[in-house]
Structure 1
Amino acid sequence: MFGTHYRIERKSVALAVAIMVVASIGGLIEIAPLFTIDETVESDPDMRVYTPLELAGRNIYMREGCYACHSQMVRTLQDEVERYGPYSLAVESRYDHPMLWGSKRTGPDLARVGGKYSDQWHTAHLNNPRDVVPQSIMPRYHWLSETGLQTKHLGDDLRALKAVGVPYTDDMIANAPSDALAQASPDSDTDELVARYGDATQVRLFDGDQRTVSEMDALVAYLQVLGKLSNAAQPAPKE
């Protein structure tokens, strides 16, 4: 076997052909499944989109590099399912541009963290992780509570996502800044917000401070919907 390999190495044309054959096999294995992607990827007609506040939180999550230490994909391994919940499905990342599956877990996976902890826990954890997890090595993000959320360009964010297939309407785009503020201001009129994004929309003071809508509000709102935009991965109720 090695003799054949050595002989091919001495002939540039034969070596080039062998490389192309091997690369073609690998490429075929990667590309062929894409032809049946419509049959293999799950669908969820009831899946909802991120609200402007949740999308702003996702942008902050990426800006602060949270994806470098936290993955968002529960694999099919038994110990992961037991720890984090049902394994992730492709449809759950349908509206994620870019996807944040990740591969490094300095911190725990966050694919199903939504609703696992209270808003107060998340706020305290982000302000100073060691207040709630003494052994944590996560850095502090205390300035998020002190920084007002910038909503001016949220409409542009929704418009860009619409261009790549996320079903935002013109009404959602036009009202993105006001909807972001309304979601973290429960005393305001939120009827139109709920009408646009559905009854599952969470409206409350995410950071516990009613004086202003902060970046902390947005990030906590985002964390609280992870794993909750779709019910496709949840086991069917027993009859």
Structure 2
Amino acid sequence: MFGLHYRLERKAIGLVFAIIGAASIGGLVEIAPLFTIGETVEQAPDMRVYTPLENAGRNIYIREGCYACHSQMIRTLRDEVERYGPYSLAVESKYDHPMLWGSKRTGPDLARSGGKYSDAWHVAHLNNPRDVVPVSVMPAYSWLLRTPLRTNDLGAQLKALRAVGVPYTDEMIANAPGDAYGQAAPGSPDADGVAKRYGEATTVRAFDGKPGELTEMDALVAYLQILGRLTDAAHTPVAAMGARP
């Protein structure tokens, strides 16, 4: 065996072809399944896109490095399903660019954290985690509550996401700043536009508890509250859901 390897090393062309052959095997294993992805990704007719406010919150989540301690992918292991809920489906991440599945769990998985806690709990937790979880090692993000959310580039963000396949309409892109404000300002004229463009089930409320003042806390809490709730696919029987045609 070693004699063959030594002889091969003396022949540069042969070694190159051997390397190409070995790499091709690995590439085939990784690439071949993609040709059948249409048969394995679930359908989710009720799937909706992130609102501008939720998308802004997602960007803050990435900016602050939250993904370094929290995964967003529940595996099919029994203990994970019992702790976090139904295991994650591929379709649930179809509009995530980049994906935030992760593997590090200094904190709990957040794939199904939406609606698990109140807005007030999230605000208190982000402001000072020890106030609600005494043993928490999570850093405080108190500045989010006093930092106004920048909205002038939200339309450009949605436009960039549309370029990679997220189905934002021209109307959604044009109204992104107003929709971000409206989702955190119930009763305002902008709030009606949010429901019109993103669906009546879209949550509209003052996430940080301060109506009329749009902060980064509003955005991050709005994002956390929608995790696992963009579609009900994970709670639908597989036989009824089917796969993409």
CA distance in 2: counterparts of 1:30 and 1:17, whole angstroms: 20
Cα distance, 1:112 vs. partner? 0.7
**115-124 vs 40-49, which deviates more?**
40-49
Alignment partner, residue 220 of structure 1: 221
Greater per-residue helix proportion: 2
Equivalent residues of 2:182, 2:193 under 8 A apart? no
Alignment partner, residue 20 of structure 2: 20
Alignment partner, residue 84 of structure 2: 84
Alignment partner, residue 243 of structure 2: none
AA matched with 2:232: N
AA matched with 1:116: K
Match status 1:209 vs 2:232: no
Cα distance, 1:211 vs. partner? 4.8
Alignment partner, residue 69 of structure 2: 69
Matched position secondary structure for 1:32: helix
200 and 211 in structure 1: CA distance in 2 versus 1, 3 angstrom threshold: closer
Cα distance, 1:140 vs. partner? 0.4
Equivalent residues of 2:145, 2:208 under 8 A apart? yes
AA matched with 2:203: Q
Cα distance, 1:19 vs. partner? 2.1
Per-residue CA deviations over 1:43-94 (Å, capped at 9, x if unaligned) read 2122001111101111111111111111111111111111111111111111
Cα distance, 1:7 vs. partner? 4.3
Matched position secondary structure for 2:222: helix
CA distance in 1: counterparts of 2:5 and 2:233, whole angstroms: 49
CA distance in 2: counterparts of 1:160 and 1:13, whole angstroms: 45
Cα distance, 1:10 vs. partner? 4.6
CA distance in 2: counterparts of 1:211 and 1:51, whole angstroms: 18
Matched position secondary structure for 2:226: coil
TM-score (norm. length: structure 2): 0.91
Runs of 5+ in structure 1 lacking a partner? Answer: none
Alignment partner, residue 241 of structure 2: none
AA matched with 1:164: V
Alignment partner, residue 43 of structure 1: 43
**43-52 vs 140-149, which deviates more?**
43-52
Equivalent residues of 2:129, 2:140 under 8 A apart? yes
CA distance in 1: counterparts of 2:212 and 2:38, whole angstroms: 47
Alignment partner, residue 234 of structure 1: 235
Per-residue CA deviations over 1:82-141 (Å, capped at 9, x if unaligned) read 111111111111111111111211111111110111111110000001111111111100
Alignment partner, residue 175 of structure 2: 175
Alignment partner, residue 192 of structure 1: 193
Alignment partner, residue 132 of structure 1: 132
Q: 1:2-21 maps to which residues of 2 (within 5 A)?
A: 2-21=2-21
Alignment partner, residue 242 of structure 2: none
CA distance in 2: counterparts of 1:2 and 1:87, whole angstroms: 46
Q: 1:140-151 maps to which residues of 2 (within 5 A)?
A: 140-151=140-151
Cα distance, 1:236 vs. partner? 3.7
Alignment partner, residue 163 of structure 2: 163
AA matched with 1:193: V
TM-score (norm. length: structure 1): 0.94
